């Protein structure tokens, strides 16, 4: 019963209120950007970007304390996106090169962390986030960076949709596809940065990929795609938070909230897929 009691009153605890606000902003940001990640099939680039931002986070924390996290991450994200766009521009389409370089950036982060004093503990916090202990400054930073990400996508909305649908047609219509790509990469990187505090570097990928993928299972129109992705990202985030809170405080199982949120997301996706398969006939071999 202590659990229920805690749950009913969690909004009276300041740290929970902060966590809820962070998750609301994150849900909206990741929902919007995630739809484009899915439409453009950029799941693996996203995975790579989360790894690439890591050294920035690590260096920021190592050299400038907790406040340096955002600046370091922003710098690393900028470097990674510029690098990726350069590769694309020079016609290097090699998956291998992209994967290797992004992992190499990650390695730099690991080296930086492994030089510091409390390596293991610090690393875990950077990887899995610390949603329960976000400061008020971090709340504002998360919201501000998230807003930037949404603006970046919204401004280039029309060209993003066009490029996602038919890249050559977009180019023919006069859009500068490289710039469109760069804008989306920047937006993804911004979400990675803004989510690093709450869910951690390793689990950002869940909130960026799953809402779009889940919406794609059911939605057949662009508007419903956004509607489903957005509401799912927000609700799923809150459900994960409640779950982590219940387990950690109520049952004394120290679950990182980021992990709980990611688990809720993935479980919901699999469930949605299962329902989809049962309700509708699968499109056999139609998408090859």
| C-alpha pair distances (Å), 115 with each of 123, 191, 198 | 11, 27, 24
Half-sphere exposure of 269 (CA within 13 A, CB side): 19
Q: Which is nearer to another protein, 147 or 255 (CB)?
A: 255
Q: Which is nearer to another protein, 171 or 216 (CB)?
A: 216
Smallest separation, CB 137 to another protein (Å): 26
Separation between Cα atoms, residue 250 and residue 7, nearest integer Å? 9
Q: Which is nearer to another protein, 74 or 260 (CB)?
A: 260
Smallest separation, CB 174 to another protein (Å): 26
**149 in helix, strand or coil?**
helix
| Cβ-proximal residues to 254 (8 Å cutoff; 6+ apart), any chain | 248
Q: Which is nearer to another protein, 44 or 71 (CB)?
A: 44
Angle at 173 between CA 169 and CA 178, to 5 degrees: 80
Q: Which is nearer to another protein, 107 or 133 (CB)?
A: 107
Smallest separation, CB 247 to another protein (Å): 8
Smallest separation, CB 165 to another protein (Å): 14
Phi-psi region of 272 (alpha: psi -120 to 50; beta: other; left: phi over 0): alpha
- Measured between alpha carbons, how far apart are the two ends of the chain, in Å? 52
Separation between Cα atoms, residue 46 and residue 87, nearest integer Å? 16
Helices 157-165 and 14-40: angle between axes, nearest 10 degrees: 50
Smallest separation, CB 266 to another protein (Å): 4
Smallest separation, CB 142 to another protein (Å): 19
Smallest separation, CB 277 to another protein (Å): 6
Phi-psi region of 118 (alpha: psi -120 to 50; beta: other; left: phi over 0): beta
| Burial status of residue 65 (CB atoms within 10 A of its CB: 0-12, 13-18, 19 or more) | exposed
Smallest separation, CB 93 to another protein (Å): 10
Residues that bind another protein (CB under 8 A): 38, 41, 43-44, 46-47, 51, 94-97, 99-101, 103-104, 106-108, 110-111, 114-115, 119-120, 123-124, 127-128, 202-203, 205-206, 209-210, 212-213, 216-217, 247, 253-256, 258-260, 262-263, 265-266, 269, 273, 276-277, 282-285, 287
Q: Which is nearer to another protein, 33 or 148 (CB)?
A: 33
Separation between Cα atoms, residue 226 and residue 221, nearest integer Å? 9
Q: Which is nearer to another protein, 147 or 235 (CB)?
A: 235
Q: Which is nearer to another protein, 197 or 262 (CB)?
A: 262
């Amino acid at each position: 019963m202590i659990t229920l009691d805690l749950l009913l009153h969690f909004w009276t605890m300041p740290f929970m209120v902060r966590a809820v606000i962070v998750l609301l902003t994150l849900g909206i940001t990741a929902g919007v950007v995630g739809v484009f990640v899915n439409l453009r099939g950029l799941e693996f680039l996203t995975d790579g970007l989360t790894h690439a931002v890591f050294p920035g986070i690590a260096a920021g924390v190592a050299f400038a304390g907790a406040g340096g996290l955002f600046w370091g991450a922003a710098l690393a994200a900028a470097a990674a996106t510029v690098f990726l766009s350069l590769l694309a521009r020079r016609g290097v389409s090699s998956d291998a090169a992209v994967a290797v370089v992004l992992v190499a950036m990650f390695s730099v982060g690991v080296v930086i962390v492994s030089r510091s004093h409390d390596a293991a503990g610090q690393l875990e916090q950077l990887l899995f986030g610390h949603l329960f202990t976000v400061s008020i400054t971090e709340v504002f930073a998360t919201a501000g960076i998230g807003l930037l990400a949404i603006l970046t996508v919204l401004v280039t909305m029309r060209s993003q949709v066009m490029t996602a649908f038919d890249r050559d047609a977009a180019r023919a219509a006069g859009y500068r596809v490289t710039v469109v790509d760069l804008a989306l990469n920047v937006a993804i990187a911004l979400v990675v940065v803004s989510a690093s505090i709450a869910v951690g570097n390793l689990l950002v990928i869940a909130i960026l990929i799953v809402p779009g993928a889940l919406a794609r299972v059911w939605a057949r129109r662009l508007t419903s795609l956004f509607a489903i992705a957005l509401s799912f990202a927000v609700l799923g985030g809150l459900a994960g938070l409640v779950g982590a809170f219940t387990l950690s405080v109520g049952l004394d199982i120290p679950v990182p909230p980021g992990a709980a949120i990611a688990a809720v997301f993935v479980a919901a996706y699999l469930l949605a897929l299962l329902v989809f398969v049962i309700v509708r006939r699968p499109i056999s071999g139609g998408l090859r």
